[in-house]
Amino acid sequence: MKEWKASEELIHLFQAVGRASLLYDIQDSHSGNMAVQWKDEKGHTKIVITSTGSQKGDLEPSQICFLSPSETDFGYYKASSETDIHARILAQKDVHASIHCHTKELIIATLDDDNKPSQRESFIPIDSLGHYHLGGIVPVDWFEVPSGSPEMVETIPERLASHPVTVVQAHGAFSRGRTLQEAFFLICVANNSGTIVRLANKMGVDIKKLRRTIQSDPDSHFSFPPTKYSVEDNEGFDFPHEEEIVREFMKTGARIFESRLSPFHTGSISIRGAQTMLYAPRASMPRELGGTLLEVPLLPEKSDPPELQIHKKIYADTNFQTIIHCYIPEAEALSHTRNPGEAAPINRIVPIDAEGSFLYLVIPVLPPQHDFEQFIQFLHDYKVVTVRGGGVWGVGTQSLSEVLHHPSSVREICLYRIGAFERSLNLKKMEPKKAKRW
């Protein structure tokens, strides 16, 4: 874990993550808490945690408490009521940070009306981010007193010893990480998985059957495994002298996060150069929590992760200059739906809104394991493609702003279709006639 040079740097990180959690809507104005292990100038280990009732989006330095990990001192009375839980989480090997958030989508997806108490059914993600980053399962527990109770102190650290995220039913989720950024990443991924399950269930997808299919053969269900989260080089720039390009990357990454086109530090962005490409392996970057910006060869290398390989293959086979890959939850949920009377999931998303219909004939949907030539052809024809179990890919011939328009539009198109379905409107009747010519 990185050694902090001064408490001011740590305080800034708490404030930045707090503001990002509000933007991502996984906290209300005063909910949740964050904690890290930190060493002071004398080498003494401290637990640093937000104070009880503090506004995570507007944290003041006085609302961040520095406590002894082994003794109860006066700071405990000011610190979060869940300090004992965080202290036990942080005592685990290689764990240096923990977060508790009111992850609304994940909580809605794990609600039930069974009699309490009993063993809760674990949450099983149906998306690739949730499957790979969360180990395919998120424990769910019910507590009679769901805030700081002795039962929670015992159970939650135990759950997080073998799972990166765990849920307190009807209350929120806890995550742990090597850094605060990683803990935030994991809890954002978990909430995104909750969004997808909730929307897919709303659209009539057989979630139980889908989960059985995933568990029996996950590799065929997902396009590729996402790159494991790294805690190294969180904000390193390979091309700091290219100030204008750096600004464009950061601005685009911030918009992806703020528009909820992809969970924190997921997806990717690239710009083609002559012999190299400029590459952001973490597309979703809040303004105060950036990500790595790399300059990598255009030619493939054995060490390339799958996501980077796809960027390079697109550039090798086309004249596109920019690429954005996002994990849009609404698009993933819709990709699992079926048209009435059809056995297979949809192979296209048809816009029913005016702007979407003006911009796109349809949004193609490819299966997880697809022919790459067809993928390239669809990018040529439509500039954006949804891959079931693999995210949304958009391409451009000029700027990052040009290509950002594609995933942003896809999310709106999906929201309108989901909203029309909720109102029991006839979607086929609302689709433009020109969509039949795709």
pLDDT number for residue 358: 94
The predicted structure's pLDDT at residue 74 = 41
Residue 219's pLDDT is: 86
- Residues 186 and 193: their CA atoms lie apart, in Å, by 11
> Do 7-221 and 243-437 come out as alike in CATH topology?
yes
Nearest to 177 by CA among 159, 190, 165, 194: 165
Spatial CA neighbour of 332 closest among 189, 433, 216, 163: 189
Query: In 10 A of CB 246, how many CB atoms?
Result: 16
Distance CA 205, CA 208 (A): 9
The mean pLDDT values, 10 residues at a time, for the chain of 438 residues are: 61 94 93 90 87 87 83 53 91 96 96 79 96 97 87 95 96 97 98 98 95 91 94 72 90 97 98 95 94 94 96 97 98 95 92 95 96 97 97 96 97 98 94 82
Rounded to whole angstroms, how far apart are CA atoms 438 and 436? 6
* Interatomic CA distance for residues 259 and 269, integer angstroms: 16
Q: How far apart are the first and last CA of the chain?
A: 51
Domain ranges in the chain are 7-221, 243-437
Does domain 243-437 fall under CATH 3.40.225.10? My reply is: yes
What integer pLDDT is reported at residue 75 of this predicted model? 46
Residue 210 has a pLDDT of 95
Contact between residue 35 and residue 90 where contact means Cβ atoms under 8 Å apart: yes
Q: Does residue 329 contact residue 188 with C-beta atoms inside 8 Å?
A: no
CA angle 263, 406, 418 (to 5 degrees): 70
The pLDDT assigned to 394 comes to: 98
What is the predicted pLDDT for the residue at 117? Answer: 66
Q: Which residues lie closer than 8 Å to 288 by C-beta, 6 or more apart?
A: 12, 15, 16, 19, 20
pTM value is 0.94
CB-facing half-sphere around the CA of 56: CA atoms within 13 A? 27
Q: Which helix (H) or strand (E) holds 154?
A: helix 150-160
Determine whether domain 7-221 maps to CATH 3.40.228.10.
Answer: no
Helices 180-202 and 207-216 sit at what angle, rounded to 10 degrees? 130
Alpha helices in 161-305 (DSSP H): 180-202, 207-216, 218-221, 243-258
Q: How far apart are alpha carbons 227 and 304 in whole angstroms?
A: 10
- Per-residue model confidence (pLDDT) at position 416: 97
Q: For residues 105 and 55, what is the distance between their CA atoms, to the nearest angstrom?
A: 21
Strands 140-141 and 165-168: parallel
Question: In the prediction, which pLDDT does 2 show?
Answer: 47
| Residue 122, CB-side half-sphere exposure with 13 Å CA sphere | 14
**Residue in 148, 171, 165 with CA at minimum distance from that of residue 95:** 165
Integer Cα distance of 80 and 144 in angstroms: 19
* Listed residue (311, 257, 305) closest to 285, CA to CA: 257
In whole angstroms, what separates CA 14 from the centre of its chain?
19
